[in-house]
Amino acid sequence: MTTVKTCLAQKPQPTTLVSVGPEDLVVTALQLMREKHVRSVMVLDGQQLLGIVTQGDCAIKVLLPGHDAKEVRVKEIMTSKPMTVKPTDPLEACMGLMASRNFRHLPVLDAGRVVGVISIGDVVKDRIREMGQQINFLETYIKGHGA
């Protein structure tokens, strides 16, 4: 069974944690998401995780109500104290958590420090990779024991 640590290791390198501070403006978070090609940013105070902000948060809590992303602070729209996982957690459990709680990003904490983020896309890619390995094993097994 794949762990969160294995999933993080398979992400394109170098992966840097994309983060903002709680006092930063939402426009800063959006610019970082665009620049880094990510859909969420961690909200940190030093090394401490305070929250997470996603593109959806920005759209639903700022843009749709007609607020200006250049005036709203990240702390006003972030999801405080987000659910987190550890590097040793099984990826299958993360997939269940994301599906049951209806979110797409999980910060990964190791000894209280954010070491990465896994997304539902990362989980799906890993599952596809695992299924491909299983198919190859079964094809080899059938060919070796057939005819």
Q: What is the DSSP letter of 63?
A: I
Contact 11, 91 (CB under 8 A): no
**Tens digit of each residue's pLDDT (9 = 90 or more) over 58-101:** 999 999 999 999 999 999 999 999 999 999 999 999 999 999 99
pLDDT class of 145 with cuts at 50, 70, 90: low
Query: How far apart are the C-alpha atoms of 145 and 147, rounded to whole Å?
Result: 7
**Tens digit of each residue's pLDDT (9 = 90 or more) over 19-60:** 999 999 999 999 999 999 999 999 999 999 999 999 999 999
Q: Please give the CATH topology (third level) of the domain spanning 4-145.
A: CBS-domain (3.10.580)
- Identity (one letter) of the amino acid at 30? L
What is the Cβ-side half-sphere exposure of residue 74, based on CA atoms within 13 angstroms?
Answer: 26
Name the residue among 109, 105, 106, 104 with its Cα closest to residue 88: 109
Provide the residue ranges of all domains of the chain, joining segments of one domain with +.
4-145
**Tens digit of each residue's pLDDT (9 = 90 or more) over 100-126:** 999 999 999 999 899 999 999 888 888
- Identity (one letter) of the amino acid at 135? I
- pTM as predicted: 0.84
